Amino acid sequence: MFTGIIEELGTIVDFIFEGTSLCLKIEAHRVFLSDNRVDEQSSAEGEKSLQNGLKIGDSIAVNGVCLTVTRVKIDDGFDPSPYFEVTAVRETLEK
């Protein structure tokens, strides 16, 4: 449920047109945190883990438009920048 409360500002780091749709890759950090807090369980490397936050299928408001999360990536050891992807279909883009 969208509460209308802005919890984070993300950064669009990539986009690609897929037919008549637009896929956005948005870098963000807080949306991956459980209740927007770092999980107190630490990983083997001593870093706090990002768990139970944003998941595929979740709805998220992007610039006032409610979109469905299609992909999520948290720190995998290679690229430390967590991001999520959403797709805006033609009808959304036309409005």
Q: How far apart are CA 38 and CA 78, in angstroms?
A: 20
Give 25-77 pLDDT, tens digit per residue.
Answer: 999 877 766 554 443 444 444 334 444 578 889 888 888 889 999 998 876 66
Contact 31, 95 (CB under 8 A): no
pTM higher than the cut 0.95: no
Per-residue pLDDT at 68 = 92
Whole-angstrom distance, CA of residue 6 vs CA of residue 62: 10
Binned at pLDDT 50, 70 and 90, residue 4 comes out as low
